[in-house]
Amino acid sequence: MALELVNLTNLVLGAMLKHRAMAKTVNLYEAKTHLSALVDRAADGEEIVIAKAGKPRARLVPIPSARKLRQPGGGKGKVWIAEDFDAPLPPDLLAAFSGH
């Protein structure tokens, strides 16, 4: 199990590094000139790094798709709370929690 977790972790990290390496880098002047096109490319899923004097300064990435709003009552009937939920604990259990 631990070996599988290590292999999975390495696989995920490798994919993340590969994705980062594939980001297109543009200089600030090019980004200002072609901002609209770069925004469209980022919206399509491409990651674009904007550099100033050869040093990366910003990253243009797509915004994740919006989640659906939660509807009240979605968990109705899925949770049960005992009638004595907030009753005082028995003395032996209370003693166990207080370290006696």
CATH of the domain at 31: 3.40.1620.10
**Predicted pLDDT of residue 98:** 84
What pLDDT does residue 14 have?
57
> pLDDT tens string for the chain (100 positions)?
454 545 555 555 555 555 544 688 999 999 999 999 999 999 998 999 999 999 999 999 998 888 888 889 888 889 888 999 899 988 998 889 888 7
Report if residue 85 sits inside a domain.
Answer: no
Whole-prediction pTM value? 0.46
Other CB atoms within 10 Å distance of the CB of residue 50: 19
Q: Could you give the number of structural domains in the chain? A: 1
Domain that holds residue 37: 22-64
How confident is the model at residue 31, as a pLDDT? 94
Determine, yes or no, domain membership for 26: yes
pLDDT for position 71:
87
Q: Which pLDDT score, from 0 to 100, does residue 51 have?
A: 95
Domain presence at residue 73: no
In a domain, 59, yes or no: yes
44 closest CA partner among 30, 24, 68: 24
